[in-house]
């Protein structure tokens, strides 16, 4: 029986006295709805002035918000399909999905097949839209790492059988992403996999060794790449005159936006920095526009909603673990890790707490593949919660 059929018949499917628990977490669903609706509003506010510049002169004032709305609609349709697929089916598809997404990461590196923007090959053109395989890999790695942890549970204390297969998968995916290059997506994917291995009981020494190795590789990667090293030093001193009008231009204007917002903001739609001063104001730096227009209070309200969604993800996962649904629990907590890490990095970059990295704010920033995969991740989380509630009612799914 599908979830949405149960929503209408669930009250009659159980004995009287057991109908107080709804069939789905309505508070989580409302929080997700608030984030998506707020994202549409802020994408419109942050992008409306772009049509007045020469680069987007032919696009029109509503171009970006309409495209974002189309992708939100597509994401909702995919989420409705995804939420009706049992987690046992998702588990069976984990390895094939991982392989398909790895092939897409290879295809995006083939000249002539991919689309290059600002020196990066991250998109596969598909008619009027472009697909970003790295976003699909986040879903694939989430499912693969959860399935791997379940399958290798008895070997999690061993180096060769418990650790090396996942390490090789991570190295392969990481190398493909760095060739695009897309360091931000690789960091999120590594955090998802590492978090699920930790939750799944990977040997503490192996986990510590892996963390140290990844940190060393990350620092070496930065040091051996002049443009990445420049970004790091720019982030440490964005107000240096040589940086503020060069590599730190985005960061300096993001900080100016936050400074203008003060406590309560300058008012919705009244941002100055989005008027061609702050690049990518509707994508990577949408938080700066939110901080300028809605101030510290508005930004804290947004953070509170994200914290609630992340907390519910971990709590739903904990409930699944308590009912011995290990894969379900890992998927739920993996989604929470994904949203938590990506939100932390995005806001940290906008505030100047982290080096500049091209990562969007989940469910809020403008994006095609990104918003679709975010909504599919939400569908997986809601499916775990739905199966938890069915088990509490004594029903199997």
pLDDT score for 392: 87
Structure tokens, 99: 């392989």
The Cα-based distances of 66 to 59, 71, 284 in angstroms read: 11, 9, 18
pLDDT score for 337: 96
Distance CA 114, CA 121 (A): 6
Domain spans of the chain, in order of start: 23-392
Helix (H, G, I), strand (E, B) or coil at 123: strand
Distance CA 394, CA 15 (A): 11
- The 10s digit of each residue's pLDDT in 147-191 is 999 998 887 777 788 778 888 888 889 888 888 888 888 889 989
pLDDT score for 141: 95
pLDDT score for 61: 81
DSSP state, 351? T
pLDDT score for 168: 87
Positive/negative CA dihedral, 390, 373, 44, 265: positive
pLDDT score for 84: 95
Helix (H, G, I), strand (E, B) or coil at 1: coil
Are 32 and 374 within 8 A, CB to CB?
no
pTM (predicted TM-score)? 0.90
pLDDT score for 206: 78
Spans of the chain, pLDDT less than 50? 1, 4-5, 7-18
Are 152 and 142 within 8 A, CB to CB?
no
């Amino acid at each position: 029986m599908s979830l949405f059929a149960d929503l209408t018949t669930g009250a009659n499917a159980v004995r009287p006295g057991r109908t107080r628990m709804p069939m789905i977490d309505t508070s989580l669903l409302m929080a997700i709805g608030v984030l998506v609706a707020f994202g549409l509003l802020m994408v419109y506010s942050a992008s409306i002035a772009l049509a007045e510049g020469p680069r987007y002169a032919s696009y029109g004032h509503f171009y970006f918000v309409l495209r974002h709305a189309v992708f939100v609609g597509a994401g909702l349709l995919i989420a409705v399909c995804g939420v009706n697929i049992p987690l046992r089916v998702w588990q069976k598809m984990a390895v094939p999905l991982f392989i398909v997404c790895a092939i897409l990461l290879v295809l995006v590196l083939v000249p002539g097949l991919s689309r290059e923007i600002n020196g990066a090959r991250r998109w596969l053109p598909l008619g009027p839209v472009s697909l970003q395989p790295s976003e699909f890999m986040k879903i694939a790695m989430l499912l693969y790492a959860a399935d791997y942890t379940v399958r290798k549970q008895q070997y999690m204390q061993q180096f060769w059988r418990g650790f090396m297969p996942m390490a090789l998968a991570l190295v392969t995916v990481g190398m493909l992403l760095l060739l695009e290059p897309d360091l931000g997506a690789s960091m999120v994917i590594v955090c998802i996999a590492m978090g699920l291995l930790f939750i799944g009981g990977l040997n503490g020494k192996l986990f510590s060794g892996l963390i140290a190795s990844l940190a060393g590789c990350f620092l070496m990667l930065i040091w051996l790449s002049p443009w990445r090293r420049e970004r790091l030093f720019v982030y440490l001193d964005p107000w240096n005159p040589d940086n503020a009008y060069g590599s730190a231009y985005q960061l300096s204007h993001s900080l100016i936006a936050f400074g203008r917002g003060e406590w309560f903001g300058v008012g919705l739609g009244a941002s100055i920095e989005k008027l061609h001063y702050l690049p990518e104001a509707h994508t990577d730096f949408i938080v700066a526009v939110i901080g300028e227009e809605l101030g510290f209070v508005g930004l804290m309200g947004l953070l509170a909603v994200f914290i609630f969604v992340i907390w519910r993800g971990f709590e739903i996962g904990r409930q699944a673990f308590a009912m011995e649904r290990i894969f379900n629990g890992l998927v739920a907590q993996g989604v929470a890790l994904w949203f938590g890490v990506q939100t932390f990095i995005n806001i940290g970059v906008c505030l100047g707490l982290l080096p500049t990295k091209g990562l969007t704010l989940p469910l809020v920033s403008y994006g095609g593949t990104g918003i679709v995969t975010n909504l599919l991740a939400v569908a997986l989380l809601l499916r775990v919660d739905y199966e938890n509630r069915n088990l509490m009612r004594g029903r199997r799914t």
